[in-house]
Chains A and B, each alone.
Chain A
């Protein structure tokens, strides 16, 4: 194909002459070229096989076919918006429900059987401290009251009060009795 510019121009003129000729040119070489061109145009082509056509068109009909990106983005945005609206409109959970839900969470209230031994000792110490403080407070209050009240009149359902044994001992003993340091026997 790499020929001189002169030959390029010459061949261009020849081709244009062949294209424009309704009949065979008088030049024999060009006439043979013209005839071959017409013969090539008469070559028949096969039709597109139906199976091939159906396979190709099935690509366009497939649900996973080509979809524009904006369509997927719009669908994702719509889904996110709907989810947000539904969550906002949900009722606030009640305390019971919260507690039940909290029990499911790690680190929330655990059964005692799940406490570590060290944790159980710490918990027991804390409860004993609260109990001793409560007993002392009750004893001090009872001693102050015993000076002004008759113990017989004080029986107003003392058994139902917390630390009932301490209160009873205050009324039964002298107000000068020292505060019992040891826990009473049950």
Chain B
């Protein structure tokens, strides 16, 4: 059982951390959530059938993130978004790109993350799971307790809402 647990941690830990980070916008809180989720996985591992671990992990991580988000006050949320500008820069840049390209990529990534964070649920989670992490429809449907058609439609609408949001921001900057 320990080997199975280690495999699951190595297989999905990174994915869970990204989900939590995108939902919460903070690395430290995201790590706390992922740690709690993986500890819960250890205590529930016997009850989980093979193949059901990832939906269970995603559900657990997402619920923990949403609980934390509900607990934040509006003022605190605003402060975190400001702080989000700096610590979220990816340490793994493309070494072949020049510094200007890396900077532009980082800026674009931050814009995308902020845009995703501004989306309502479940669209935000759907974009993270379907488009960023490219999980299959069935897994996402199980994790979010939706039908597969709902996953597809809601993902489409969330993506289009994000695109509208990005276009509006772009127009504001030009103006």
Contacts and interface: CB of A to CB of B under 8 A. Distances in A.
The secondary structure that dominates the B interface is helix
Contacts of B112: 39-40, 43
Given A43-B109, A57-B6, A52 B31 contact: yes
A40 B90 CA distance: 15
B13 A48 contact: yes
Interface string B40-73: 0011011000000000000000000000000000
B163 A65 contact: no
Interface of B: 1-2, 5-6, 9-10, 13-15, 17-18, 21, 27, 31, 34-35, 38-39, 42-43, 45-46, 90-92, 108-109, 112-113, 122-123, 127, 131-134, 149, 152-157, 159-160, 162-163, 166
B153 A15 contact: yes
A8 B42 contact: no
Interface of A: 1, 8, 11-12, 14-16, 18-19, 32-33, 36-37, 39-41, 43-49, 52-53, 55-57, 59-61, 65-66, 68
A40 B160 contact: no
10 contacts: A14-B156, A33-B156, A40-B112, A45-B18, A45-B133, A47-B14, A48-B17, A60-B1, A60-B6, A68-B46
A8 B153 contact: yes
Given A43-B112, A60-B42, A36 B163 contact: yes
A165 B80 CA distance: 112
